Amino acid sequence: MNEISKLLNSMESLLAAGSYLAGGMIPEIVPTIPDEEWQQVATASPKRQREFSCGRNYSHQLLDQLGFSNFIIGRDDKGCPLWPDGLAGSISHTNNYCVAMIAPTDSYVSLGVDLEESGRMKKTLWPRLFTAAEIQQLGNIGELDKQLRQAAVIFSAKEAFYKCDYPINRQLHEFTDIEITLNSTSRTLQVNQLSQGELAGYQGHYVTGMTHVMTVIQKTA
């Protein structure tokens, strides 16, 4: 079983029923997607075309399961995917892997999923990305590889939060406006906004692998 399959299986074991995930490796050959969606990236680089098409391909696998086989995934004026009425969704990719997630809005009004490579958040980036408390939390971890893995989880959680929150509130946040607290036992995470404290209704989970991490943030109805 490859890394992305392990991450998906681990995340699915944490999420409540009614949340749907699909993902895999980004192929060298561009997956087939509807022409209306292909036009969104027709002039993009080959790499971007593969990433975009892979995300849409996995999204359509989930939509097919839920009875939306002919739905065209559009984009709003900010580039956010447009999902069928009654569904919330999110897409993420790294250089190697791609994942899509969908859930009915009677359970979650919005959601965000994010994949990150474990070693990408170098210490030189921490002051721009993390709060003082987060940096202290990372500094308390002894081994560098574990520090970088947890840094990837915190960064990924912030990305997932933005994907979840922006479609609702249309508000941009600085990375250091948001603080993430991890619970390693339950693999849950808490989202705090420094100006407001804990943000009500946002539920988060995370899983880690050898080279990647995955986070999910869901906003309850």
Give the distance, in angstroms, between the CA of residue 210 and the centroid of all CA atoms in the same chain: 18
What confidence score (pLDDT) does residue 146 get? 93
- Domain containing residue 41: 1-221
Average pLDDT of the residues in 4-11: 97
Report pLDDT digits (tens) over 172-182: 889 999 999 99
Instruction: Identify the band that residue 15 occupies on the pLDDT scale cut at 50, 70 and 90.
Output: very high
CATH number for 63: 3.90.470.20
Exposed e or buried b per residue across 193-203, where buried means at least 16 C-beta atoms within 10 angstroms of its C-beta: eeeeeeeeebb
Report pLDDT digits (tens) over 18-57: 999 999 999 988 899 999 999 999 999 999 999 999 999 9
Q: Residue 153 corresponds to which tokens in the numbers above?
A: 């989880």
What confidence score (pLDDT) does residue 121 get? 93
Q: What is the pTM of this model?
A: 0.95
**pLDDT of 102 strictly over 70:** yes
Report pLDDT digits (tens) over 140-177: 998 999 999 999 999 999 999 999 999 988 888 899 99
Cα gap 134→118, rounded to integer Å? 17
Q: What is the DSSP string of 137-156?
A: HHHT--SHHHHHHHHHHHHH
Q: How many domains does the chain have?
A: 1
Question: Running DSSP on this structure, what letter comes out for residue 114?
Answer: E
